[in-house]
Structure 1
Amino acid sequence: MNPEIGKYPVEYYGYFYNDQSEEAIRSREKEQCPFLSETCKKRRKSDNDITIGTCSVGYKKRGQSEYSPHIICPHRFEVDGVFEELKPLFEDRGEFFRVPEVPLLGTSIDYVAGKRDAKGEVIDFAGVEIQALDTTGSVWPYKEAYEREEDMNEVDGSYGINWAMSITKTMMQQAWKKGHVFNDWGENIIFLLQDESLEYLHQNANTTSLHPAREDDPVHFYAYSMNYDYDEGEYILEIDSKVSSDMEGVSQMMNSSDEETPPTKEEFQRIVSDRF
């Protein structure tokens, strides 16, 4: 059971907003992201020198009676427990790796994870894309109230979740474009998202092709739930479901995007190796 929250930011700088532990206070004072072990990268659009520090916000979709935490920063997913769920996909031999920001098709893959041998050559791999949620409006007034120790419920402001941009456009366009490449290679691309996001996809797209994850499907979706750990006093991400689809199923969920010539599988593996 999760604690009762409202429509306001739930986590600041990696910690539950009312966490008064030494670690949480230090993280806020130094504007540190505990998931990256460096300064928070989520900045104000109007002033890039100012960190926002908001990892997740309280929100409830139409028909829901209670607010729940919705992740708005992709770095919130960058915890070991999330990546542990990828390991069963790969061969037993070799050392597990994850490499960030690997270039592909004029953009990049958030991570490439897999197994490498003692020489640093890639044995097995999968692309990993992290899908947080975009917001509309602004969470900044809540940050100001929070820092003044005022009640965030009383903030004169509002924000929303841009579901269409986050899920049916951004994520599914990536699934289509990059999914074709990984399908041609005989490999997988995995989208890490929240259970709330997968639920939105089911409600707003033709997801009849989704089924429990199969290795022979190129496009996978790993959905995680935000569950509150009362012993630790924090939200933890736990796997909720793993589903996958072939490219025909991805096509049913969205419109195809522009074609672009991808590298060969071997060329891509060399790119990954060069980033070790």
Structure 2
Amino acid sequence: MAGKIWEFFGYRADDHSAAAIAAVNERQCPFLAETCEKRLSDGIVAGVCTIKPMTSGPVMCCPIRLYADKYRILYDVAKIAFEEDYELVAGGKASERAKAKQEPVVAVFGKRWGGELRLPQKDGAGSYFVDWVLALLDANGKLKEFVAVEVQTIDTTGNYRNGREGLLSPERTNPTTTVGMNWENVNKRILPQLIYKGQVLQREALCRKGLFFVCPYPVYTRIMGRLGGARGLIRYALQPASITFLAYEHDTNMIDGSTVPLNGLPPHSTTVYKVQEAFNNVTLPDENVYRTAIDMALGNEKGKT
């Protein structure tokens, strides 16, 4: 595996503007307007938002990168789920805001907004937790319905420390690193979590539009590939059993001194049961592949012992 850092402290690695250099020097995340919270194993501020593998386009590896444009993704989800451009308000303040305006608002529960909801744990683990809950309140501040939102990028393998050190140097070099994408997490962690949480949410009387999953476009394509392709994953109208995929990719319009805008792709809504069915539909290899491999390793002709 090999790759290069593509975005560093919010700006392209090949952006040598004053804004990009200032973000590096101050270790600032421009999407949060505060110190980057991504850390290496020894606690050092990482600053890496996006990696470009040598054989593909850039892939976001920090979830905060998806919170660009003042959490635009949450507004996008709310518009799809509730069909209006309601004001988004931090959870604890939302009821009073609705009453004051005499209009519906969306209460936001999540990190840096209304705080994460306290939910019961399953066998000592927080298996029920989602990244965000968007709750539609009526003009009297009463809960009408809600949706849940999961935000995922992709973990990395290997190491990008030499690339980071190069970009921190006065020369701002960007050497190739051993970093790669941990695509196996799609099978081991992401899809099983989506299926489980989607089933939990289906039992909620007021969760009428299900679960929204927000991710970078390369992660979305990997998920769809694992599930047999987007065309085979039947689209359904929003419902309690829904899983709606929302993918984002970098805009091609890149201006030095500015962060690269993100473009949202059309949503793909299906059901948790269709996802589970596709996930369990494993394609097996040809028979006797182990025997063939052993024979080849022994120097025997294929298929003969």
With the shorter chain as reference, the TM-score category is 0.7 to 0.9
* Counterpart position of 2:67: 78
Matches within 5 A, 1:236-275: 236-254=261-279
Specify the SS of the correspondent of 1:182.
Answer: helix
Identity of aligned residues (%): 26
Q: Superposition RMSD on alpha carbons, in Å?
A: 2.4
Q: Which amino acid aligns with 2:223?
A: L
Hey, what's the Cα distance between the residues in 2 that align with 1:17 and 1:211? 39
Q: Deviations over 1:30-74 (max 9, x none)?
A: 2111222221111011x11x101000011255xxxxx42100001
Cα 1:150–1:31 change in 2 (3 A) is closer
Distance 2:250 2:162 in 1: 24
Q: TM-score, normalised by structure 1?
A: 0.77
Report matched runs for 1:153-232 at 5 Å.
Answer: 153=175, 155=176, 157-165=177-185, 167-185=186-204, 186-207=208-229, 210-212=233-235, 214-216=237-239, 217-231=241-255
Could you tell me which runs of 5 or more consecutive residues in structure 1 were left unpaired when the two chains were aligned. 1-5, 62-66, 256-276
Query: 1:213·1:220 contact (CA, 8 Å) conserved in 2?
Result: no
* TM-score, length basis structure 2: 0.71
Larger mean Cα displacement after TM superposition, 203-212 or 188-197 = 203-212
Q: Distance in 2 between matches of 1:140 and 1:250?
A: 37
2:27 is aligned, of 25, 31, 55, to: 31
Separation in structure 2 between the aligned mates of residue 168 and residue 113 of structure 1, nearest angstrom: 27
Give the secondary structure class of the aligned counterpart of 1:141.
helix
Answer yes or no: is 1:89 the counterpart of 2:111.
Answer: no
The structural deviation recorded for 1:120 is: 4.3
Cα distance in 1 for residues equivalent to 2:33 and 2:188: 31
Partner of 2:53: 59
How many Å apart are 1:103 and its aligned residue?
4.1
Which of the pair is proportionally richer in strand?
Answer: 1
Counterpart position of 2:167: 146
- Whether contact under 8 Å (1:91, 1:124) holds in the other structure is no
Matched ranges for 1:100-119 at <5 A: 100=110, 101-104=116-119, 106=121, 107=126, 108-118=129-139
Asked if structure 1 preserves the Cα contact closer than 8 Å seen for 2:81 and 2:209, the reply is no
1:254, 1:26 → 2: CA distance?
A: 45
How far, CA to CA, are the matches of 2:75 and 2:246 in structure 1? 12
Q: CA contact under 8 A between 2:13 and 2:174: conserved in structure 1?
A: no
Question: Aligned pair in 2 of structure 1 residues 56, 219: CA closer, same or farther (>3 Å)?
Answer: same
Are the structure 2 counterparts of residues 184 and 206 from structure 1 closer, same or farther at C-alpha, using a change threshold of 3 Å?
Answer: farther
SS of equivalent to 2:130? strand
Q: Residues 60 and 221 of structure 1: is their aligned pair in 2 closer, same or farther, counting only changes over 3 Å?
A: farther
Query: Over residues 192-241 of structure 1, what are the superposed CA-to-partner deviations in whole Å (9 max), with x where a residue is unaligned?
Result: 01111121122223356524462124211111121232356432211113
Distance in 1 of aligned mates of 2:120 and 2:19: 40
Aligned CA distance change for structure 1 residues 72 and 131 (closer, same or farther; 3 Å):
same
Partner of 1:131: 152
